[in-house]
Chain A
Amino acid sequence: MNKKPFIISAAVAMTFALWSCGSNSGNTAQNKNKAIDMEATGEFEVADITAAPNVPAPVGKRGPKKLIVNLETTEIEAIIADTFSYTFWTFNNIVPGSFIRVREGDEIQLNLKNAENSILPHNIDLHAVNGPGGGAEATFASPGQEASFTFKALNPGLYVYHCAAPPVPQHIGNGMYGLILVEPEGGLEPVDKEFYIMQGEFYAKPTSRSPKLLEFDNDKGNDENPTYVLFNGKKGSMLGPNMLEAKVGDKIRLFVGNGGPNLVSSFHVIGEIFDNVYTEGGSTVSHNVQTTLIPAGGATIVEFTVEVPGEYNIVDHSLSRTFNKGALGKIKVTGDANPKVFKKN
């Protein structure tokens, strides 16, 4: 009940925290300052954005530009698994939402339109933004309304964006998330294949209208007990004819996000070792990693070269999710056998 000592100790702790941040701020602060001073040139142009598993072309060596990103929030029914449909809430009618690719120093005008036939208000919080709510308050739009804000990309990295309208777990749980990549000056090193994958879990129950049409179940959400754990919003999104494809010798880069809303992913590709992992989507690169954690509301970039032909399973190695709840994708690698690396005896 007596809050004073608590407040004082909190204040002291905060001062220390600020102080210690200040004393070893190093790279991040330098990057940020540098990016603030980068001048975005030219007129605003509409950015190329893509649906998973595709990503837009790399930024390469270009300088900072002015880009417009148009997103529409919608509420739609689509197949989630087998013969079941789900009432998804989306950015641009897809789960995950469109992949946005920019470089540090870019000036981005984000236009959010909430569809006329939406039932609820929506908005967007981009984790790549330095500013209040990541844009959430600036873009809070009633059905049929449009909202817009402009931000400068300061920190290179891979970031989640999501709807932050109340009730937030429901909006995210219905599929309102996507990724924005901020490439460093000079761009990421070129690779042979790049793909966009986003994990998210769905807490489903039948609607009153049809047992085959599912909707968000708040009780399951509170219990963090999902019905489905999926890559790219649909069971089998990367299976059968939708398998990702590569050739022996290809260097593959996966941009992997985790929308959550709750679960943490143990991301793993069966039969491969990640040569590089940009831990939590940031600037620290780890090597020779088998499984990497992706927090809810976080992302990672993994890179690996495929040496042997075959099918490689993309999984959440918290394996009940893969074997029982749908978190499975595949990369099909074609090319010549490579007995030096792998052969069956």
Chain B
Amino acid sequence: MRILICISNVPDTTTKVKFSTDNTSFDDGGVQWIINPWDELALTRAMELKEDASNPVSNVTVVTVGSPAAEPTLRKALAIGADDAIRVDAVSTDAHFVASQLAAVAANGDFGVVLCGIESSDYNGSAVGGMISEIMGIPSVSAVSEFKFDGGEVVLSRDIDGGKEEVSVPAPFVAIVQKGIAKEPRIAAMRGIMMARKKPLQVVPAADAESFTAYQAFAMPEPKAPCKMVDADNVKELVNLLQNEAKVL
């Protein structure tokens, strides 16, 4: 079974977000790019499954939609252990456009499983995974927190209110994974980094697809109000401040 992992190339989580062109686009100057943390966990789990010889996983491919600037992130995924990588040569615009590209790649490659992170840490749209399955006409399971094989059959678990739910699903399918799918993201070993240079990274042209949405404007959250520290013993002062300054009492 071949596994396809959809990788989103996102800014490092400590990035100071800035916008340009009248707050309609993200300013990517000086940004450090990383693999979307949920996708990184999906990749980690796929590697674990592949390394256990009792599982029927033959190959792990990573794919992203992006410009050549996204290639270091794909190389990193190869360094972590993916066998090959595909970059759809297009600038991603919205979820539908990206999902269409990924579905085209998935349909083209005889993949048994398509793994997506539940959301990307930059735009947090949580839409691509579901759309891929819809476009391809195959099942999808969302919020998967466990992925294993039981006698060659896929068993997925989902966290639900107060318990767990086990789901079996025929391949091919899309699994949209959340935290818990792997314990910790795997880091690239030196050997992996060296091998990654030699692994195939294929660039494919974008398929025809529409963007359904367009960003009108971004706004930064209001800065946090300054904080006043009150000594734990000084309840009087606390009440006074809440009453007269914050006017909440």
Asked whether A and B interact, the reply is: no
